[in-house]
Amino acid sequence: MDAKDYEVVVVDNGSSDGSAQWLPREFPQITVLPQSCNLGFAGGCNAGIRYALERNVEYILLLNNDTYVASDFIREMLSRMEGDAQIAVVCPKIYFADHPNVLWYAGGDFSLWTGTPRHRGWKRIDQGQFDGNQVIAQATGCAMLVRSDALRDVGLLDEQFWAYAEDLDWSLRFLEQGYRIALAPRAHVWHYDGATSVKLMGSGSQAVRQFFSTRNMVFVARKHLRWWQTPTYILGFIINHLAFYTALRLWRCDFRALLAIYTGLSEGLRTSLRLSQHDGTL
């Protein structure tokens, strides 16, 4: 990478294959933070964030392990952030690794009125058509540059989410505090979509993803909805999540994932939430 003054930190989230010992031997320039167990996406990221904040860094980059990047992507994101002090988070343009010109993410939209998150440009060939509107409502934890001062104000990722929608919750919290989220369209990352979660699932069922995505969208509603948004959010969630994924899992005969949808719904409604401003301990 052609960025300067950066440190690479790898959070080993409870692996048992010797990765935590092998990495620093092969790449002595990086810092490895081994965890005793799998803390989930939110907990693993928070471990790295705490390490960075202790060193008083100005910016923190979260980057999935199933990605590869353009050499100038950090510089492009920094350029976007440094032009506006109200920008707390910047995301790059992200492509499918197996189809390098097809978009996985060109910004994200979300409304508490409809309860439906959306990636701009999903599975469309990039022709620059999403570069104009660079203000976004939903950052992606796949790759995001965060301003440390804003992070201290808003708090860490909410570890109750464990995985899925924790970045949406974080985005809403930044926006609620008056910060902005932006896209840096000239910063490019390529993503092997679902590579980590599919390996963890093993059998090929989408049950794990389905459970957490359903449960956590209920968490989002319980944390952020105003009462007057509740009817339309519930309607959107029923149509665009519950009904859609129920039909999809039935069509694909993935009955484990079908059960996981409604297990996640139940857990989302019954779990006691931590509703403080700082959802992770700094």
pLDDT in tens, 17-54: 888 899 999 999 999 999 999 999 999 999 999 999 99
Alpha carbon of residue 106 to chain centroid: 14
Three-state DSSP class for residue 149: helix
Domain end marker among 176, 196, 216: 196
Distance CA 42, CA 263 (A): 21
Residue partners of 188: CB distance under 8 A and separation at least 6: 69, 70, 73, 92, 93, 94, 95
* Number of helices (H), then strands (E), in the chain: 10, 11
pLDDT digits (tens, 9 = 90+) for 119-133: 999 999 999 999 988
Residues 160 and 219 in one domain: no
State which residues form the domain around 229.
200-270
Residue partners of 282: CB distance under 8 A and separation at least 6: 50, 53, 152, 155, 156
Residues 160 and 205 in one domain: no
Q: Is position 134 within any domain?
A: yes
Tokens 């964030």 belong to 49
What value does the mean pLDDT take over residues 227-244? 97
The total domain count for the chain is 2
Average pLDDT, the chain: 92
Residues 164 and 208 in one domain: no
Distance CA 251, CA 244 (A): 11
Q: What angle do CA 271, 166, 75 make, to 5 degrees?
A: 170
On whether the CB atoms of residues 8 and 31 are closer than 8 A, the answer is: yes
Nearest to 213 by CA among 275, 172, 169, 261: 261
Q: 157: buried, middle or exposed (CB in 10 Å: 19+, 13-18, 0-12)?
A: buried
Residues 65 and 85 in one domain: yes
pLDDT digits (tens, 9 = 90+) for 58-90: 999 999 999 999 999 999 999 999 979 999 999
Q: 225: buried, middle or exposed (CB in 10 Å: 19+, 13-18, 0-12)?
A: middle
Residues 64 and 122 in one domain: yes
Domain end marker among 150, 170, 196: 196
Q: 0.85 exceeded by the pTM? A: yes
What does the pLDDT read at residue 133? Answer: 81
Q: Is position 46 within any domain?
A: no
Domain end marker among 173, 196, 219: 196
Distance CA 44, CA 26 (A): 22
Q: Is position 36 within any domain?
A: no
Q: Is position 10 within any domain?
A: no
Residues 159 and 230 in one domain: no
DSSP 273: P
pLDDT digits (tens, 9 = 90+) for 251-279: 999 999 999 999 999 999 999 997 654 56
